[in-house]
Amino acid sequence: MLLNTSQLKELYNRYDKKNSSLISIPFSAISDEPLKFYKWYAALFQIELNVKAFADVDSKQIIIYKGTKMKYYATILIPYENREAYIDAVNEINQIVSSNGCIILFVCNIPYNLVSYLSIEAKQNEGQLIENIIKKYDLRKESSLGINELFMEFCNRKFNMANIPPGCSKADITQIFSDTYFFCSKSDLTKKGYNFNTHIRRKKVFISYCHANKELVYEITEALEYSGIDLWIDKKDISVGSHLLESILAGIEESDFAILFLSNATLSSNYGQLELKTIMSALTNKKKGWYIVKIDDVDVNNIMPSLGDYKYYDLSNGNKTELIKDIINAINAQN
């Protein structure tokens, strides 16, 4: 049974800490229900208590942004590759901010978009001291971003987030940095196969799938996007009112490679088979490569004769992690 307003307030007050704009409530403090239900609890906190809340299944916590009534706000850019050089500045700022303020580190660990920010909320008299430190270390402020905006990006899984408690030591801050940043630098990623040559356009990959399989497909494509793959997929690239086949052909035209997810749902859909034939014809004419993923026990030859002659990944006998690695290798192998 869902919690009522008074129970929500009790949890909110129990885990509220004055020295942070954030409240973290463990799932275990709420109930022992399946993880998917905690999104509902996050929504309840938002509706009943008028706060921003997010169910983080990785840390198994509901994270609430309550905001503060501080008069000073600042967001500072922390260069991803050179963040260690900023620890002294962060430490000095942290010694100024009182327990009623907060300092939060936001880090985007997505390859090709490595960036991080330090967001600060403090009293007005503390603000001038912080401004002096900003000048001392020649820090760059980002006036368009604050904790509110970055927290929403965290909710969209674009950033990792860490609270830096007021009064903590430099060693604590160093550890927080170490835990929140995933990569050493672009050179570290380059050694792992990422290409940061800006004059080279990243390959765009077309995704074909049956909407009956969308949950599985979206899980795989989100992992590919996280790995830096640029995707064309109809959930985001076909505008309302667009003619579907025309949009698909346009998507193939601008893509370099295609991934085809096939299943019994594809076989049972006349339109799905028509779409697949159109896609295969366009790919062949444009001399573009493709990768076939068989989701279940469907006979791909029943979907399209001779389709089984091509190499495909049988996901019913494999695992998603290996599939993602194999797809990335196939994309990188394209000329």
Confidence of residue 44 (pLDDT cuts 50, 70, 90): confident
Please determine, for residue 117, whether its predicted confidence score (pLDDT) is greater than 70. yes
3-state secondary structure 187-251: HHHHHCCCCCCCCCCCCEEEEECCHHHHHHHHHHHHHHHHCCCEEECHHHHCCCCCCHHHHHHHH
Tell me if 101 sits within 8 A of 70, measured CB to CB: yes
Residues whose CB falls within 8 Å of the CB of residue 241, separated by 6 or more in sequence, listed in order: none
Average pLDDT, the chain: 84
What was the pLDDT predicted at 202? 65
Confidence (pTM): 0.52
In 10 A of CB 66, how many CB atoms?
17
Task: Please name which of 166, 170, 17 lies closest in space to residue 99, comparing C-alpha atoms.
Answer: 166
Please determine, for residue 38, whether its predicted confidence score (pLDDT) is greater than 80. yes
What was the pLDDT predicted at 243? 56
Q: Which of 48-52, 110-114, 134-138, 239-243 has the highest mean pLDDT?
A: 134-138
Percent of the chain with pLDDT over 90: 26
Task: In the chain, list all ranges with CATH 3.40.50.10140.
Answer: 204-332
First CA to last CA distance, the chain = 56
Tell me if 76 sits within 8 A of 96, measured CB to CB: no
Task: In the chain, list all ranges with CATH 3.30.1340.
Answer: 72-188
Please determine, for residue 194, whether its predicted confidence score (pLDDT) is greater than 90. no
Tell me if 73 sits within 8 A of 121, measured CB to CB: yes
Task: Please name which of 214, 331, 335, 208 lies closest in space to residue 280, comparing C-alpha atoms.
Answer: 208
Distance CA 244, CA 249 (A): 9
Distance CA 167, CA 97 (A): 8
What was the pLDDT predicted at 237? 45
Map tokens 């509901």 to a residue: 62
Strand order across the 204-208 sheet = 230-232, 204-208, 257-262, 289-294, 312-314
82/247: higher pLDDT: 82
Least confident of 21-25, 262-266, 297-301: 21-25
What is the average per-residue pLDDT within 157-177?
A: 89
pLDDT tens for each residue of 224-256: 887 778 888 876 544 444 456 777 788 888 888
Distance CA 125, CA 121 (A): 12
Q: Looking at domain 204-332, what is its CATH homologous superfamily?
A: Toll/interleukin-1 receptor homology (TIR) domain (3.40.50.10140)
CATH architecture under which domain 72-188 falls: 2-Layer Sandwich (3.30)
What is the average per-residue pLDDT within 288-309?
A: 87
